[in-house]
């Protein structure tokens, strides 16, 4: 009963309001509830952009403007959204009294839901372990893991689901090695991740909400035991180091138990969820544009830029939100304290003012890296360097090993709106190239 009330306050109300608003053409409502927008967001990107740099809706504002998005992500006049914070006061009261005490990516002490000084302390603690040098050192591990997975694939003739057999397996293996996750537990991480992925969305159906809760409950239980095990028998992994840093007693890096679980959980989940999407999106885009594969075969130095262009065109995270800390002016519009602004990252990444011919997939685009796919400012993605390495190494190794790979069906998109990627992607691998031929 308690969960049902929480769903009604947090999602049921939003579903009702946005369903009505979508029928009336409200852009923010359509973003949340219109199935046509979910199926083909590209047309909607342009519709939002055509209405101006800052578009008013019933529940706030939305922008598809790159320059404005860049500014808002760095503005001290706005803060990140905590789940339920923008509900009407009575519903906010109900939601807070019916929520559980489990970790949630959009609830403090998650890095996604806090601001300085807490955010500064959390991020400093993680950054002290996940240094540039440490991430750079992981690149060899990414390549070796990719080759091992591709060896396994080469023994499976016929059609395979490349998301299940490769795109998901590579980032989970990498983040598990980083965070000291035993091999036997990796399948649990995948299961929890798939169940909990819609937790970033608003307006979930009751069945979706229940599946998300099962994923979050399972992940919380597993993570608590995993951290206890690492305390008992620490390894040389970065999570063991993070635990030691967090519990060292230093005021600059100290994290209490809920904070440590929140930071560890987000690093683990974010470490594979978005990269699964990057790899799946990249494979599909390159299969649909074989001329780029021919170019990359002859000019492999273009792979890093190709990854940036994939991130730009098919942003794994489609949007983020901020709300105003005070009355402020944005693009000539007065935004009041507490009002919400959605930064439509995926649309901003196709802004023609910044990216000429923005809907064209161009692996040689000179400014492809100006995308906002990793957010910006103090909330810039901590794992951006690792995601880029996994994208570059993972995609290049896949197409090097299977030069004749072809699409073998339409595939299916993930049932999420904030995250965009493939749930299934069948491919015919063709003849595998031997290692000696590489």
What's the whole-number mean pLDDT along residues 226-230? Answer: 92
User: How far is residue 101 CA from its own chain's centroid?
Assistant: 23
Sorted by sequence, the CB contacts under 8 Å of residue 287 that are 6+ apart come out as 405, 406, 407, 427
Q: Convert the pLDDT of each residue in 253-285 to its tens digit.
A: 788 889 988 988 888 887 788 899 999 999 999
| pLDDT for residue 159 is more than 70 | yes
| pLDDT for residue 331 is more than 70 | yes
Residue whose pair of structure tokens reads 């199926």 in the numeric block:
39
pLDDT number for residue 437: 47
Position with higher pLDDT, 437 vs 249: 249
CB-CB contact of 393 with 139 (8 Å): yes
Residue whose pair of structure tokens reads 């190709």 in the numeric block:
306
| pLDDT for residue 100 is more than 50 | yes
In which band, very low, low, confident or very high, does the pLDDT at 206 lie, cut at 50, 70 and 90?
very high
Q: Give, as one character, the DSSP assignment of residue 417.
A: S
In which band, very low, low, confident or very high, does the pLDDT at 187 lie, cut at 50, 70 and 90?
confident
The span from the CA of 313 to the CA of 303, in Å, is 15
The span from the CA of 118 to the CA of 101, in Å, is 19
The span from the CA of 54 to the CA of 294, in Å, is 41
Both tokens assigned to 131: 């240094």
254: nearest Cα among 236, 242, 238: 242
Euclidean distance between the first and the last CA atom of the chain, given in angstroms as a whole number: 59
Q: Convert the pLDDT of each residue in 362-372 to its tens digit.
A: 999 999 999 99
Percentage of the chain exceeding pLDDT 70: 99
pLDDT number for residue 435: 65
Instruction: Give the CA dihedral 438, 282, 302, 158, nearest 10 degrees.
Output: 20
pLDDT number for residue 113: 93
In which band, very low, low, confident or very high, does the pLDDT at 353 lie, cut at 50, 70 and 90?
very high
Both tokens assigned to 238: 């970065």
Sorted by sequence, the CB contacts under 8 Å of residue 92 that are 6+ apart come out as 9, 84, 85
Q: Give, as one character, the DSSP assignment of residue 333.
A: E
- Report phi then psi at 424, rounded to 5: -135, 145
pLDDT number for residue 83: 87
pLDDT number for residue 130: 76
CATH superfamily of 2-437: Cytochrome P450 (1.10.630.10)
What's the whole-number mean pLDDT along residues 346-359? Answer: 98
pLDDT number for residue 252: 79
The span from the CA of 283 to the CA of 310, in Å, is 10
Position with higher pLDDT, 183 vs 392: 392
- Average pLDDT for the chain: 91
Q: Convert the pLDDT of each residue in 230-253 to its tens digit.
A: 999 998 888 898 898 888 877 877
């Amino acid at each position: 009963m308690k969960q049902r009330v929480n769903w009604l306050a947090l999602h049921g109300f939003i579903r009702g309001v946005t369903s009505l608003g979508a029928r009336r053409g409200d852009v923010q409502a359509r973003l949340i509830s219109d199935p046509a927008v979910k199926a083909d967001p590209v047309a909607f990107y342009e519709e939002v952009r055509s209405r101006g740099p800052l578009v008013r809706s019933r529940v706030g504002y939305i922008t598809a403007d790159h320059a404005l998005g860049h500014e808002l992500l760095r503005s001290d006049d706005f803060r990140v959204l905590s789940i339920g914070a923008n509900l009407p006061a009575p519903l906010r009261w109900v939601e807070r009294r019916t929520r559980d005490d489990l970790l949630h990516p959009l609830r403090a002490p998650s890095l996604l839901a806090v601001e300085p000084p807490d955010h500064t302390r959390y991020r400093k603690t993680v950054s002290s372990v996940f240094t540039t040098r440490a991430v750079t050192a992981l690149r060899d591990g990414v390549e070796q893991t990719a080759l091992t997975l591709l060896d396994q694939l080469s023994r499976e003739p016929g059609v395979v689901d490349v998301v299940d057999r490769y795109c998901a397996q590579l980032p989970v293996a990498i983040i598990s090695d980083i965070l000291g996750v035993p091999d036997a537990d990796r399948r649990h991480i995948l299961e929890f991740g798939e169940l909990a992925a819609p937790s970033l969305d608003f307006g979930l159906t009751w069945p979706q909400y229940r599946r998300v809760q099962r994923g979050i409950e399972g992940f919380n239980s597993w993570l608590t035991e995993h951290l206890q095990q690492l305390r008992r028998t620490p390894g040389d992994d970065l999570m063991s180091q993070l635990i030691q840093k967090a519990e060292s007693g230093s005021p600059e890096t100290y994290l209490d138990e809920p904070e440590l679980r929140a930071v560890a959980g987000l690093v683990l989940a974010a470490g594979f969820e978005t990269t699964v999407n990057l790899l799946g999106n990249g494979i599909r885009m390159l299969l649909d544009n074989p001329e780029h594969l021919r170019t990359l075969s002859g000019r492999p130095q273009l792979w890093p830029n190709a990854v940036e262009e994939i991130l730009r065109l098919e942003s794994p995270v489609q949007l983020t939100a901020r709300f105003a800390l005070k009355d402020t002016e944005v693009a000539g519009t007065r935004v009041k304290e507490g009002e919400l602004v959605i930064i439509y990252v995926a649309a901003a990444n196709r802004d023609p003012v910044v990216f000429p011919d923005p809907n064209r997939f161009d692996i040689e685009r000179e400014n492809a890296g100006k995308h906002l796919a990793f957010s910006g400012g103090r909330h810039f993605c901590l794992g951006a360097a690792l995601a880029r390495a996994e994208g570059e190494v993972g995609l290049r190794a896949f197409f090097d090993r299977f030069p004749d790979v072809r699409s073998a069906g339409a595939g299916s998109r993930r049932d999420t709106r904030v995250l965009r990627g493939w749930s299934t992607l069948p491919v015919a691998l063709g003849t595998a190239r031997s290692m000696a031929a590489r």
